[in-house]
Amino acid sequence: DTGSAAAVPIDDVDIAYVTPVTIGTPPQTLQLDFDTGSSDLWVFSSHTPASQVRGQEIYSPNKSSTAKLLEGHTWSITYGDGSASRGNVYVDNFTVGGLSVAQQAVQTAQQVSSSFTSETNIDGLLGLGFSTLNTVSPKSQLTFFDNAKASLDSPVFTVDLKAQAAGTYDFGFIDKAKYTGEITYVPVNTNPGYWTFTSSGYAVGSGSFSSQSITGIADTGTSLVYLPTAIVTAYYRQVSGATNSRNYGGYVFPCSSALPTFTFGVGDARFTIPSSYISYSPIAPGSSTCFGGLQSSSGLGINIWGDVALKAAFVVFNGANPPTIGWAKK
Ligand SMILES: Cc1cc(CN)n(C)n1
């Protein structure tokens, strides 16, 4: 089997991407945020209080003839950005881009935090991290990818995110039309359940490449890139008027400032993030102060290669044993 579905930016700064999925019988279509940085599949549902729903599509298990409650199972998750949700669990038919799993655990939200209520274009998350991270108790559940893996032509999914355009999540195959040159594969450390890999270094603009190991996670659910402070300060030293603002929670700069590109290494390969991706967004609509797409990871305890970096590459998440991650130009 294989599957292929669109990854559509939810706003004009690519803060997140959503992908259509269908759940149950007859099929209910929701737009989910595919997140390689977590492993819960949760949805806005008929169990979510109306006061917490602001236009999101919901999954109603009682309208699905194939839904079954997973008795006594609950879940609760908090993400790196402080957002959170919790609830109960059903199993039901679940399809992504023509690829179906018969008894997928679908975690129905009974409570979502305000940032989820405000994100009206996201109807839930589909975790693509390792199933060890799943929060369902007393028995943790498998991700859609882990459930589908055995039936896939190849145990992989690929990510092709684009700036202000629809990209693709492919399951079970590697589409040669989506990348150029070779795919550079590097090892993945599955502790603690993320797609953790080590980059071989970085360069700022046309500067020299600094060879150093930068271990971090490939996270489609995070908008920006978060790297060690020394690297980030080296970058913004090249940006006139840049400052690390406690008020705005990170590096900001005059939107009119020229921004260098940022290049990162994967093995011998080099990937360059265009300046436009790093001039992430005005701090408020119409403001002449812009927030950077590259920020310091010092407060996180982990380095994160989020969408700003993933948009610059075609990435293969190889779920073989042992797992690896592959990066190619496009
Ligand atoms: C909702 C959500 C998902 C992620 C990345 N795993 N973050 C930081 N927030």
Tens of pLDDT, residue by residue over 292-323, are 999 999 989 999 999 999 999 999 999 999 99
* 3-state SS, residue 186: strand
Say how many Å lie between the CA of residue 84 and the centre of ligand 1. Answer: 9
How many helices (H) and strands (E) are present in the chain, helices listed first? 5, 24
- Minimal-distance CA residue to ligand 1 atom 5: 221
Cα(65) to ligand 1 centroid in Å equals 32
Sheet holding 289-292, edge to edge: 243-245, 250-254, 289-292, 279-282
Cα separation, 211 vs 217, whole angstroms: 18
pLDDT digits (tens, 9 = 90+) for 231-269: 999 999 999 999 999 999 999 999 999 999 999 999 999
Burial 134-161 (b: 16+ CB within 10 A, else e): bbbeeebbbbbbbbbbeebeebbbbbbb
Give the integer Cα–Cα distance in Å for 129 and 1: 21
Determine the distance separating the centroid of ligand 1 and the alpha carbon of 248, expressed in angstroms. 19
Q: How confident is the model at residue 36 (pLDDT cuts 50, 70, 90)?
A: very high
pTM for the complete prediction? 0.99
pLDDT of 20 > 90? The answer is yes
Calculate the average pLDDT of the chain. 98
- pLDDT, residue 191, reads 85
**Ligand 1: lining residues by beta carbon, under 6 Å:** 35, 37-38, 79-81, 83, 219, 221-222
Residue 209 carries which DSSP code?
A: P
Is residue 27 reached through a cis peptide bond, with omega within 30 degrees of 0 on the bond before it? no
Q: pLDDT value at position 192?
A: 86
Give the residue from 265, 330, 281, 273 showing the smallest Cα distance to 307: 273
**Residue 81 annotated in active site:** no
Residue 175 falls in the annotated catalytic set: no
Which ligand 1 atom lies nearest to the CA of residue 129? Answer: 6
ipTM attached to this prediction: 0.93
Of the residues 14, 35, 40, 123, which is catalytic?
Answer: 35
